[in-house]
Amino acid sequence: MRNPEGGTPGTSGTPGHRVTPPAAQGGRHGAPAAADARHRATPWPQARATAAHAGSRAARRALVSAPLDAALGLTLAAPLDALTDLPSFDTSAMDGWAVAGPGPWDVRDEGVLAGHARPEPLTDGEAVRIATGARIPLETTAVLRSEHGRGDDKGRLHATREVQHGQDIRPRGQECRSGDRLLPAGALVTPAVLGLAAAAGYDTLTVVPRPRAEVLVLGDELLTEGRPHDGLIRDALGPMLPPWLRALGAEVTAVRRLGDDAKALHRAITASDADLIVTTGGTASGPVDHVHPTLHRIGAELLVDGVKVRPGHPMLLARIADGRHLVGLPGNPLAAVSGLLTLAEPLLRALAARPAPEPYTLPLREAAQGHPYDTRLVPVALRGDRAVPLHYNGPAMLRGVAAADALAVVPPGGARAGQELELLDLPWASAGIGVCFT
């Protein structure tokens, strides 16, 4: 694919500036252009911060009301306040008998089941069979568990151990009272949050909608099926990017294969209403690398034009009209993964109003080779309290990341065995909320 690891972004624009027209670009292999690109590239931490800031600025304020079964992984746009007391009435915590006063007790013939109307009050010395979750009759002293009661020859109920007042009764409002603040706006909707919302009386939740993403796969050399042949190679990014973007919380609205067609690329970008357009390849300065010229043609603003990271150096982030963005990924597969985690992930997270994960580090089990000047992202497997660098981690390779749990952030110059490094979890390894591969 185009954009090998040594490729350059190929424009003279700096982050935050309009794209420079192609006539002002240096040659693809010329030393001055290459040196210019290295100077222009954004440091890796700054690139991620820029992407997150861009997403925060463009976050949509048109909130949506989502049914509970569609809200998983979204962010609450309004506080979750209890609509009822929880529990909404005194309930039995166990199967057994509701008893009144000291034993032994006369047992009523009928029982009390969950979901039934309020039962008749008890009188002193009386008991009634009760199921877990059923309403407690008035004047009940305690619930005697089934395993702690026995009957005598006269049909009276005796306790086999001491009965404490109020035992195994869940009082009304034990968890919350109507109007209590259960969760603030900005909380992530997890399965537990869905259960809490349902228990508190909600049918829908006010949430920040998923950002919409569209994938544009570029390159005439790509096959969609079969084995590589005659200079053609299989497209690895078309199958990989949509589920990965969904795992990052996006709604993928389209995947388009455009080849190396500048007009088709222009039409696709200008016609799209996605919050994020992701392109693959075409970010260098070769004769069929059309991303920079197209961005210049539509008046886009380059926020990041090359990143000091390997693999993935020639990635870019541009702001299009109306607060929409384009992330240009390199064509090499692992370089594209680097671009996803560097630019697309923080942008999508900010668009969805999701909090940034807490950074964490682990020591390396063995040394990791670095780049002389740039940050390097290396696939690692987590083994106990150590990160093990994996082989097959070249820019065109996916074998290493397919077996990885995370990517280690290796500083310029490399890292020694035992050195603590920041790790970027992969969605399937961290089991993040909203992960969806279908």
Question: Domain map of the chain by residue range?
Answer: 17-61+210-351, 66-83+180-208, 91-170, 361-430
Distance CA(290)–CA(287), nearest Å, equals: 8
Lookup result for tokens 């952030």: 409
> What is residue 100's three-state secondary structure?
coil
CATH number for the domain formed by residue range(s) 361-430 = 2.40.340.10
At 60 the pLDDT is: 66
Q: Quick count: other Cβ atoms within 10 Å of Cβ 164?
A: 9
Please tell me the total number of residues recorded for the chain in this structure.
438
8 Å CB contact between 125 and 106: yes
Distance CA(72)–CA(89), nearest Å, equals: 29
* φ/ψ (deg, to 5) at 308: -80, 70
Tens of pLDDT, residue by residue over 140-161, are 999 999 999 998 888 899 999 9
8 Å CB contact between 10 and 27: no
Q: Quick count: other Cβ atoms within 10 Å of Cβ 78?
A: 13
At 118 the pLDDT is: 84
At 7 the pLDDT is: 37
The DSSP output letter for 375 is E
Lookup result for tokens 């005194």: 90
At 223 the pLDDT is: 65
Q: How far is CA 237 from the centre of its chain?
A: 20
End-to-end CA distance of the chain: 26
The DSSP output letter for 342 is I
Distance CA(352)–CA(432), nearest Å, equals: 14
> What is residue 48's three-state secondary structure?
helix
8 Å CB contact between 383 and 366: no
Lookup result for tokens 């150096």: 313
8 Å CB contact between 84 and 175: no
The DSSP output letter for 211 is P
Assign domain 66-83+180-208 to a CATH class.
Answer: alpha beta
Q: How far is CA 382 from the centre of its chain?
A: 20
Q: List all residues 6 or more positions away from 106 whose beta carbon is below 8 Å from its beta carbon.
A: 125, 126, 127, 155, 156, 157
Closest CA relative to residue 265, chosen from 341, 212, 221, 328: 328
Q: Which helix (H) or strand (E) holds 66?
A: strand 64-67
At 285 the pLDDT is: 77
> What is residue 6's three-state secondary structure?
coil
Distance CA(421)–CA(408), nearest Å, equals: 6
At 427 the pLDDT is: 85
* φ/ψ (deg, to 5) at 312: 105, 15
Which of these CATH numbers, 3.30.300.30, 1.10.3720.10, 3.40.190.90, 3.40.980.10, describes 17-61+210-351? 3.40.980.10
pTM (2 d.p.): 0.80
Q: How far is CA 361 from the centre of its chain?
A: 20
Cα–Cα distance list, 184 to 38, 284, 305 (Å) = 44, 45, 37
* φ/ψ (deg, to 5) at 322: 65, 30
Q: Is the dihedral angle over the CA atoms 49, 347, 438, 243 positive or is it negative?
A: negative
Q: Which residues pair with 207 in a beta bridge?
A: 64, 76
| Regions of the chain short of the pLDDT cut 50 | 1-15, 22-35, 431-438
Q: Which helix (H) or strand (E) holds 49?
A: helix 44-58
At 282 the pLDDT is: 84
Strand positions, DSSP E, 171-268: 181-183, 204-208, 212-218, 222-223, 233-234, 251-259
Closest CA relative to residue 420, chosen from 408, 429, 430: 408
Structure tokens of 436?
A: 């969806």
Lookup result for tokens 């309290």: 385
8 Å CB contact between 61 and 32: no
Closest CA relative to residue 308, chosen from 412, 422, 415: 412
* φ/ψ (deg, to 5) at 238: -55, -45
Identical fold, 17-61+210-351 and 66-83+180-208: no
User: In this structure, which topology does domain 91-170 adopt according to CATH?
Assistant: Molybdopterin biosynthesis moeA protein; domain 3 (2.170.190)
